[in-house]
Amino acid sequence: MPPPVRFDRVEGIGVVTLDNPPVNAFSLSQRIGVKEALTNGLQDPDILAFVICGSGRMFSAGADIREFDTGVAAESPTLPELISLIEDSPKPVVCALHGTAVGGGCELSLACHSRVAVTGTRIGLPEVTLGIVPGAGGTQRLPRLIGVLPALDAIVSGKPMIAERALELGLIDGLTDDSDELLKTSVSVARRLAIEPGPPHKTRDRNSQLLKVRDRPELFDEFRSRIARRARGFEAPFACIDCVEAATTMPFEQGLAFEREVFLRCRSSDQSLAQRHAFFAEREARKVSGLGPETPQLDIRCAAVLGCGTMGSGIAMCFVNAGIPVIVIESEQGMLDRGMEMIRKNYTSTVSKGRMTEEEAEARLTLIEPTLEFERVSEADIVVEAVFEDMDLKKKIFTRLDALCRAEAILATNTSSLDVNTIAAVTGRPEQVVGTHFFSPANVMRLVEIVRGHQTSPEVIATVLTLSKRLGKVGVVVGVCDSFAANRMLYPYSRQAQFLIEEGAFPEQVDRVIQDFGFPMGPFALSDLAGIDVGWRVRQHREHSRPKHLRYSAIGDRLYEMGRYGQKTSKGWYQYEEGSRIPIPDPDVVDLVLATSKELEIDRREISDEEILQRCLYPLINEGARILEEGIAQRASDLDVVWLYGFGFPRYRGGPMFYADSLGLRHVYEVMQNFYEIHQDWLEPAPLLERFAREDRTFAEWDAK
């Protein structure tokens, strides 16, 4: 292994270059390398000052997260030790930032005596997203540099800022447009600092920003209430606020010790374990069997979307938001106008919320070309079909696409349940056909299930994976089966929720339990949001073709027949006041639920919150085990990603399969078996779950095989 740090001399300046691909993470060897370089340089009278910079794509992604679980992170020099060495250095240290400088990488820069960055560099402290606080002085130094409120915003949101903003706030001292100039500029800053009289200025001694809020101790509680809804259930955001508050109430050393203690406590918490799992799961999902860095990819410069309804309009926005021009094709002018109006309204609302300028919205709209001419598909590198969920219609469309599209074009379907192989089979190029299952609303939800047909080529899968990242989405590859992974796991969850209200619960109780677990909303509120009519249409196809010995809850159908379609009609499982999205329990639904139980001759019983949670969650985990065994998903952690991004599974619980591991598969199996004995029906434990429970194994072990 080449050493992860290089040392060079440039005009009397010691240049320390981090060289630890792919992200210059501060592993033990990199920490040792930097310490050695600085120690040697400090002893060398010919070295006047230092520049620390990064090689490759970025400055640094921070501490090496993989070392958290092995204990190596605690080996000396630890990151805080290294950072103190830098701050205390009698020779000035300048940090040269490019690409990304986050976490411990950013913290190291904060302790340097000056910071210079290339325009566009992303700088920040994303630790909170891993369930921890910055643990190398970030919560103490950042407020000293940029002020308490901007520091709170940055640390608690975890969102990096671009260098231009960092300059405005005083996080960095200089900016260069030209990355080739970064080293030269930094060396000249270092030379200037070296001749200044006295020791270099330390960030820890800067207290003027802290003094500005001395009379406003209440601002921290205000901040806590401000994030209470957004951060519900998460521990780390509140721990971050505690640390920044400590910066204003304690002397530097004591604040630092406080931060370290909180960091170590968070790092060993279940939440951080789960959030770190989520981080790596997302990255693992990009590694797909049969694909490698050598797999060629197609260049996507222009897209076409077929159908401008609910999904097509959202998908078109995804493309133009990423700067890819899109041709939107409809069969009728009225539908086309309606779809374009939806898109326009969406952008107008974004502008009114101050998240986009009018010019930006206009620029995006000009990238969308609405048309009724189907033949225009011939111009596209990828066509995403989003017409009605009807196999005959999709077959007709794909036959036409095959005749009209360029030979190398990707033909994608947004079907949510139909067989991608059957669709591919009507074309002469099944290797170019793939499922791209976006979630509604497509311009907001980040999950895309990439459905790999039997013949879909590795090039097409690789291209669509890269494309999803470009669209700001998280792509997860799954195989062909009825409803793929996400919805297939959702059905048992919603189904049990409905059985529970037949047996004795009410929608608001089920939703409360699920929300308390950490989901943004429960299954009934979700059904009202998605549309009871949409669920009804899906059930016509799937539940009515189910094996007849399996139960079916018809309450949702009754609501549909009553014209209660959910939020769109202000009545569904709940009632809604004009213009409000807040669900209010509805006595008519209570009557319907009671009447249904009576009709089914069910003696309603008190149902505990624990049973509700287990009856909703364990069957979906059980279905996940079947999906794994059938090879529909490559790994259990892929299913976690699907649930984190498709349905808002609480990130601090890592995803359903990780959660099941944390409970123990033996427990999950025993509870499922018990439910099965009582209710029979859909609740039979999956063979894989049973086997793993017996062998005391975990889904993580399945992934590691």
Give the DSSP per-residue string, 423-445: HHHTSS-GGGEEEEEE-SSTTT-
272-331 residues near ligand 3HC, rule: CB under 6 A: 280, 283
Residue 23, contacted partner among ligand 3HC, ligand NAI, none, CB below 5-8 A by kind? ligand 3HC
Sheet holding 122-124, edge to edge: 100-102, 122-124, 161-162
Residue 329, contacted partner among ligand NAI, ligand 3HC, none, CB below 5-8 A by kind? ligand NAI
- In the complex, minimum distance from the CB of residue 111 to ligand 3HC, in angstroms, rounded to a whole number: 12
684 binds ligand NAI (CB under 6 A): no
Return phi, psi of residue 470, to 5°: -65, -35
329 binds ligand NAI (CB under 6 A): yes
Strand 382-385 with 49-54, pairing: unpaired
- Catalytic one among 11, 36, 127, 578? 127
Q: Name which position in 16, 20, 48, 64 contacts ligand 3HC (CB under 6 A).
A: 64
Give the DSSP per-residue string, 455-471: T--HHHHHHHHHHHHHT
62 binds ligand 3HC (CB under 6 A): yes
Return phi, psi of residue 683, to 5°: -95, 15
- Is residue 684 annotated as part of the catalytic site, yes or no? no
In three-state secondary structure terms, 11 is coil
308 binds ligand NAI (CB under 6 A): yes
Q: Name which position in 10, 42, 335, 367 contacts ligand NAI (CB under 6 A).
A: 335
* Preceding omega of 22 cis (within 30 degrees of 0): yes
- In the complex, minimum distance from the CB of residue 2 to ligand NAI, in angstroms, rounded to a whole number: 47
End-to-end, the C-alpha distance of the chain in Å comes to 27
- Is residue 107 annotated as part of the catalytic site, yes or no? yes
Residue 389, contacted partner among ligand NAI, ligand 3HC, none, CB below 5-8 A by kind? ligand NAI
421-440 residues near ligand NAI, rule: CB under 6 A: 437-438, 440
- In the complex, minimum distance from the CB of residue 378 to ligand NAI, in angstroms, rounded to a whole number: 15
Rank residues 77 and 309 by Cβ distance to ligand NAI and give the closer one.
309
Q: How far apart are CA 554 and CA 571, in angstroms?
A: 17
**Which range binds ligand NAI by CB under 6 A, 236-244, 308-316, 521-529, 626-634?**
308-316
- In the complex, minimum distance from the CB of residue 439 to ligand NAI, in angstroms, rounded to a whole number: 6
- In the complex, minimum distance from the CB of residue 526 to ligand NAI, in angstroms, rounded to a whole number: 11
61 binds ligand 3HC (CB under 6 A): yes
Token pair recorded at residue 264: 């170590």
Give 3-state DSSP helix, strand, coil % of the chain, rounded to 5. 55, 10, 35
Residue 539, contacted partner among ligand NAI, ligand 3HC, none, CB below 5-8 A by kind? none
312 binds ligand NAI (CB under 6 A): yes
529 binds ligand NAI (CB under 6 A): no
86-115 residues near ligand 3HC, rule: CB under 6 A: 100, 102-104, 107
Rank residues 105 and 314 by Cβ distance to ligand 3HC and give the closer one.
105
Q: Name which position in 388, 428, 548, 549 contacts ligand NAI (CB under 6 A).
A: 388
Q: Name which position in 17, 129, 157, 416 contacts ligand NAI (CB under 6 A).
A: 416
Rank residues 293 and 388 by Cβ distance to ligand NAI and give the closer one.
388
DSSP 546: S
Q: Which residues contact 379 (CB under 8 A, 6 or more apart)?
A: 302, 304, 327
The residue at minimum Cβ distance from ligand 3HC is: 103
> Amino acid letter at 563?
G
Contact mark string toward ligand NAI, 347..386, x via CB under 6 A? ---------------------------------------x
126 binds ligand 3HC (CB under 6 A): yes
Binding-site residue total for ligand 3HC (CB under 6 A)? 24
- In the complex, minimum distance from the CB of residue 395 to ligand NAI, in angstroms, rounded to a whole number: 11
Q: How far apart are CA 597 and CA 605, in angstroms?
A: 11
Would you say how long the chain is, in residues?
A: 705
Residue 127, contacted partner among ligand 3HC, ligand NAI, none, CB below 5-8 A by kind? ligand 3HC
Tokens 């498709």, residue located: 646
Q: Which helix (H) or strand (E) holds 646?
A: helix 636-646
Q: How far apart are CA 85 and CA 50, in angstroms?
A: 13
Give the DSSP per-residue string, 164-190: HHHHHHTS-SEEES-GGGHHHHHHHHH
- Catalytic one among 107, 449, 508, 611? 107
- In the complex, minimum distance from the CB of residue 432 to ligand NAI, in angstroms, rounded to a whole number: 19
Residue 330, contacted partner among ligand 3HC, ligand NAI, none, CB below 5-8 A by kind? ligand NAI
Token pair recorded at residue 304: 């076409």
Reading phi first (left if > 0) and then psi (alpha if -120 to 50, else beta), residue 190 is in alpha
661 binds ligand NAI (CB under 6 A): no
Angstrom distances, CA of residue 435 to CA of 30, 133, 161, 523, 642: 43, 39, 35, 26, 15
Residue 156, contacted partner among ligand 3HC, ligand NAI, none, CB below 5-8 A by kind? none
54 binds ligand 3HC (CB under 6 A): no
255 binds ligand 3HC (CB under 6 A): no
Q: What is the 3-state secondary structure (H, E, C) of 86-155?
A: HHCCCCCEEEEECCEEECHHHHHHHHCCEEEEECCCEEECHHHHHCCCCCCCHHHHHHHHHCHHHHHHHH
Rank residues 23 and 448 by Cβ distance to ligand NAI and give the closer one.
448
CA atoms within 13 A of residue 470's CA, in its CB half-sphere = 14
Q: How far apart are CA 606 and CA 504, in angstroms?
A: 6
Q: How far apart are CA 572 and CA 310, in angstroms?
A: 20
- In the complex, minimum distance from the CB of residue 61 to ligand 3HC, in angstroms, rounded to a whole number: 4
- In the complex, minimum distance from the CB of residue 209 to ligand 3HC, in angstroms, rounded to a whole number: 21
Q: Name which position in 235, 259, 330, 611 contacts ligand NAI (CB under 6 A).
A: 330
Q: Which residues contact 124 (CB under 8 A, 6 or more apart)?
A: 102, 106, 154, 158, 159, 160, 161
Rank residues 360 and 389 by Cβ distance to ligand NAI and give the closer one.
389
Rank residues 66 and 542 by Cβ distance to ligand 3HC and give the closer one.
66
Rank residues 31 and 495 by Cβ distance to ligand 3HC and give the closer one.
31
Residue 524, contacted partner among ligand NAI, ligand 3HC, none, CB below 5-8 A by kind? none
User: Is residue 703 within 8 Å of residue 635, measured between CB atoms?
Assistant: yes
126 binds ligand NAI (CB under 6 A): no
Residue 283, contacted partner among ligand 3HC, ligand NAI, none, CB below 5-8 A by kind? ligand 3HC
Angstrom distances, CA of residue 268 to CA of 68, 131, 368: 9, 10, 48
The residue at minimum Cβ distance from ligand NAI is: 309
Angstrom distances, CA of residue 499 to CA of 17, 155, 177, 424, 682: 61, 43, 61, 37, 11
Site for ligand 3HC, rule CB under 6 A: 22-23, 25, 61-66, 79, 100, 102-104, 107, 126-127, 130, 134-136, 138, 280, 283
- The residues annotated as belonging to the active site are 107, 127
Site for ligand NAI, rule CB under 6 A: 306-312, 329-332, 335, 386-389, 397, 414-416, 437-438, 440, 534
